Amino acid sequence: MAKGRKARDRKKQGKLDHRRRLDKKQKWNSTLLARQVTPKLADKVDKVCDLIRVRRFAEAEQLLDRLDTRYDRYPAVVEAQLYLYQSTENHERCCQAADRLAKLTPRDPDARLMYAQESMFCGRIGIALANYRLFLQHWPDHANVQKAKNAIELIEPECEANVQGMGFGDAGLELLVTHEESLECIQSGQFEDAAEKCLELLKRAPDCISARNNLALAYFQSGNIEKAVHVAQETCRLSPDNRFAEATLGKLRFLSGKEDEANAIADRIVVNPPTEQDPLAAAIELLSFLGRDENIVVLSEAAQDRGIADSRCHAMGLHHLAVAQCRLGDEKAARSSWKKCLKAMPTHVDARENLDDLDSGQGHAPWSESIGKWIPRAICDNMFGSRSDIGKAKHLDLTNDYPAVAALIPAMLDRGDPLGREMAIKMAAADGSPAMLDALQQFAFGSRGPDAMRHEALNILGRRGRVDSGPHRFYSRGKWTEIKLFMAEINWEATQCTTPGVRDLVETGTEALSNGDFALAEESFNRILDKEPDNCCAAYNLCVVWVERDGEAGRRRAQVRMEEIHDQFPDYLFAPISLAQFAAIDGDLDRASDLLEPIFDAKKLHASEAIALFTAQVQIAIKRQEFDSAEQSLALLVQIAGEDDPKVARLRRLIDTASRRRGLRRLLSWV
C-alpha cells in the first residue's frame, strides 16, 4: 500500500511540475504575443496616428477605443493612446496609458521613463520618484539617464516633505506610493481597487486622514454609500480639525439624500472658511453641489486674494466660481473665469463643455459636476441594467428603492449636467410619485435648463393630468412667454368610404396626385364630389391639385375654396391648417396662429391631422424666427410621423437654412 501511495504521489507531483512548466511557457508566450503586431492591426494603428497628426482627435479616440477592446494586450495600441493624449495634453489619461505600457513591456526603459514623467506631471511625485529610481537601477547606460537624475533631484525634497507631513516614518516612500496609487485608481474610475489601496495603507498607517478621505470617496463611487458616510463621520471624529474631512462629509451627506445636514455643515464652513488650498477647494465644491452661489463667490474671491499654489486646485476653484457667476446672471464674468480655469488646467472637461454650451446656445450651462459625481455608476447599473439605458425604464420606485437618488432629483434638474438632467427627467417620469411630479413641475416652470427639456417635462405633466393645455407661462429663448400644450390622443384608424365606388376613386386620385398626374387626380376628385358633394377629403385634395399644378393662381383659387370648406364644415381640420399655412405665406402670422390654436385643444386627432398641424406649426415658427419652437414642433412631428417621413427631412432643412440666414444677418448687420 505504501509503494502504491508513493507512486501516486510521484505521479501527482509530476503533473504539478508539468502544469507549472506549461504555465511558465504560456506566460512567456503571452509576453511574446504582447510584442507582436499583425499587418491588419498595424494598418489600423497607422490610421489612428494619421488622424492625430491632422488633429482629428475625436475620430482617433473612437477608433482607439474599438481597437483597445479587441487588442488590449498589444503595446502598439497603447503607444497610439500615448500619442493621442500627449497631443491633447491630457496628462491623466497619458499617465494611465504609460502605466499600462510599462506593465505590458517590463523590459522597455522608455515606457518606464514615460510613466515616471507623466506621474510627475499629474502631481504623483512618489510614484514618479520610485519609477525614476527603477529606471536608473535597470538601465544605467540609457541615453536619458541624466534626465532621470535631474528629475529625481527636483522631486526628492518634495517627496521627503510629503512623507514627513503625512507621518509615514521609515517606510515613507513606499506608503506615499500606495497613497498616490489610490488617487490614481480614483482618477481612472477603478474605485474598488482604490478602496483596497486605501485599506492597505490604513493597516500600516492608521492615522493617515488622507487615506480615510479617499476611502470614503472610493466607497461612495463603488455604490457603498452607507460605508462612505460612516468612514467620513469616523474621520471627522478622529480629526475634528481636518477641514477637508468636514467638507467631504458635507458632500456625502448631500449625495446620500441628507441635504439639511449638508447645509448645516456648509453653514459652519461659511462662517469659518478653511485657509489651506485643498480644504478650501473641497468646501467650494460642497457649496456648488448645494447651489449656494453667493457663498461660492465670497469664498472664491477670498481664495484668490490669498493665492493658491496648486494649479489643479486653482482651476477647480475658478470653474466653480464661473458656475456661480453664470447662475447669478453674470455670463461675461463666468466666461472670463472659465477661460482662466482652462489656462491653469487645459484638460478641465467641464469648463470646456460649459463654454462650448454657452457658445452654441443649447441652454444646459452652467453645471459644476458631471453625473458621475452625483450618482455612483453601480447604482445606475442597478436601476437601468448594465448599459444604463434610461430610455427603457418603465417604472421606478425611487422613494423606497433608491431614496438617496430620489432626494437628488430636484437638485439635478436645477444644476445637473446635460446627462444628469436627462436622467432626472426620465427617472422622475418613471417613478411618477407626487414628489417626483412636483420636482418636474418646478423645473418645467422655472428658467434653468434648455427650453426643450422643460417643454418635455411639461408634456409629461400634461399626460399625468398635473397640468391642462394652458396657456402656461413658460421661459423660452431668454424671456417669459405663454405656450399651450398638445394633449390630444393620436389614432391611426383608416377612415372608411360609405358610397360604393368612391374608395376606388380615392385610391386612383391620391396615387395620381403623388405621381404628378394632375389631370387624372382632378378628374377622380371631381367624380367623388359628384357622388358625395359633402366629401371634404375630395374637396381638400382637389385644392392640393390646384396648388401644385397652377402655382400662385392655383393657391388663390384653393384659398377661396378652403374658406368655404372651413365655413361649411368647421370640424374638418385640414381646412384651417391649410388656411394657416396660406396666412403664414402672406405674412399674416397672427391669423395663422389663431387658426391653429383651437386645434391644440382637441381631445383626439387622426395621425394625418396631427402631422399636418405640426408641419404648419414648424412653418409658422420659422416665419417668426422662433427656432426653439420650430424644433419642439418638429420633435413632436417626428414622434408621430417617424424620422424617415419626407416632411421631416424637408422641415429639417428649412429650419437649418433659416437659422443660418439669421446668423449671417447678425454677422453682417452693417450691410
Q: Are 595 and 583 in contact (CB under 8 A)?
A: yes
Q: What is the DSSP string of 246-266?
A: HHHHHHHHHHTT-HHHHHHHH
* Res. 441: pLDDT tops 50: yes
Burial class of 649 by CB neighbour count within 10 A (0 to 12, 13 to 18, 19+): exposed
- CA 280, CA 82: separation in Å to the nearest integer? 33
3-state secondary structure of 482: strand
Residue 516 φ/ψ region, left for φ over 0, alpha for ψ in the -120 to 50 degree band, beta for the rest: left
* Res. 134: pLDDT tops 80: yes
- CA 539, CA 10: separation in Å to the nearest integer? 100
The C-alpha cell that represents 453 in the structure block: 427639456
pLDDT band per the 50, 70, 90 thresholds, residue 254: very high
- Please report the pLDDT score of residue 344 as a whole number: 86
Which residue is associated with the grid cell 509615514?
A: 168
Count CA within 13 A, CB hemisphere, residue 545: 22
pLDDT band per the 50, 70, 90 thresholds, residue 35: very low
Q: Pinpoint the residues of the chain covered by CATH 1.25.40.10.
A: 39-227, 241-366
**pLDDT single digits (tens) 53-96:** 999 988 999 999 999 888 888 899 999 999 999 898 888 889 99
Instruction: Tell me which of 216 and 386 has the higher pLDDT.
Output: 216
Q: Helices 243-255 and 225-238, interaxial angle, to 10°?
A: 150
Q: Which residues pair with 491 in a beta bridge?
A: 606
Average pLDDT on 107-119 reads 93
**Right CATH for 39-227 from 1.25.40.10, 3.30.1020.10, 3.40.30.10, 1.10.3720.10:** 1.25.40.10
Instruction: Look up the CATH number of domain 241-366.
Output: 1.25.40.10
User: How many other CB atoms are found less than 10 A from the CB of residue 492?
Assistant: 8
**pLDDT single digits (tens) 346-401:** 878 899 999 999 998 888 999 999 998 999 878 887 776 644 445 455 578 888 88
3-state secondary structure of 664: helix
How many residues comprise the chain? 671
User: pTM of the entire structure?
Assistant: 0.71
